[in-house]
Structure 1
Amino acid sequence: MHTREERTIRCLVAKVGLDGHDRGAHVIARAFRDAGFEVIYSGLHRAPEEIVQAAVQEDVDVLGISILSGAHDTLIPKVLEGLEEYGALEDTLVLVGGIVPEDDERHLKELGVAEVFGPGTPMEETIAFVREHVPDREPDR
């Protein structure tokens, strides 16, 4: 039996929609790399379908969606639906980073988001959350 510590955690850090602010995504991507995670960055202005395709094709353990545009209530459910269609939602830890009102945060969690991290969240907290909650999978890569 393999444990989480015996394999590298694969993460996709994604920017969805027309949100052009990517500093936070770059900061978390760097922190994840420094923590020993394998990180793929989507680049800016990705459609939900593109993020789903990248997450499935790269077989990521963690999908971190950075969004500050206010369109989280429309775009993130589309990503979750796409992951569900591919049967990947159950095996993917979905995180959201950005400014999300409390009511919307609750709704996103009901749909399948594991956690929402707002501005100023310590990197160590996010990294610890990933390590604790990343789905167990056999290393078949």
Structure 2
Amino acid sequence: MSAESTQRAIRCLIAKVGLDGHDRGAQVIARAFRDAGFEVVYSGLHRAPEEIVQAAVQEDVDVLGISILSGAHNTLIPKIIDGLESYGALDDTLILVGGIIPEEDTTTLKEMGVAEIFGPGTPMEETVTFVREHAGAE
């Protein structure tokens, strides 16, 4: 049996945080990740940061994709990052953000621990390639 066939699939949690009720993008990326061979868990709508942290830790995910369009990213994402850090899971979790994030906020979010931010219209293959290159790279 080859090493490639014994390696587990990249595990991803696609999460909708806060009161943002628009989840088409989250569902599209979840499908693209599944089609790419990743294991995907979708949080559903209106999740509190604490619920997302719990799901990420319990599911032992490699990737946490946060979809946010509400404009509350500077409040909600730091709570998720702090929660992951409190469980010692921050260093083992690739954090991606998808949605409408103003350019002036991207540097701050990346300094907090977000690996990459993907805006509307990002080709699916770009996101999949980023995950393959950065998730669980050992």
TM-score bracket relative to the smaller structure: over 0.9
Count of residues in Structure 1 that have an aligned counterpart in Structure 2: 136
Cα distance, 1:98 vs. partner? Answer: 0.2
Opposite residue 15 of structure 1, the aligned amino acid is K
Q: Which runs of 5+ in 1 are unaligned?
A: none
SS at match of 1:90: coil
Structure 1 vs Structure 2: percent identity of aligned residues? 79
Cα distance, 1:102 vs. partner? Answer: 1.0
Opposite residue 31 of structure 1, the aligned amino acid is A
* Pair 1:56-2:77 in alignment: no
**Shift >4 Å, 4+ stretches:** none
Mapped to 1, the partners of 2:33 and 2:137 lie a distance apart of 18
Opposite residue 38 of structure 2, the aligned amino acid is F
What do residues 26-47 of structure 1 show as CA deviations (whole Å, max 9, x unaligned)?
Answer: 0000000000000000000000
Q: In structure 1, what is the equivalent of residue 71 of structure 2?
A: 70
Cα distance, 1:14 vs. partner? Answer: 0.2
Q: Which runs of 5+ in 2 are unaligned?
A: none
Give the structure-1-normalised TM-score.
Answer: 0.93
Q: 1:1-141 counterparts in 2 under 5 A? A: 6-136=7-137
Cα distance, 1:22 vs. partner? Answer: 0.1
Opposite residue 72 of structure 2, the aligned amino acid is A
Mapped to 1, the partners of 2:33 and 2:77 lie a distance apart of 21
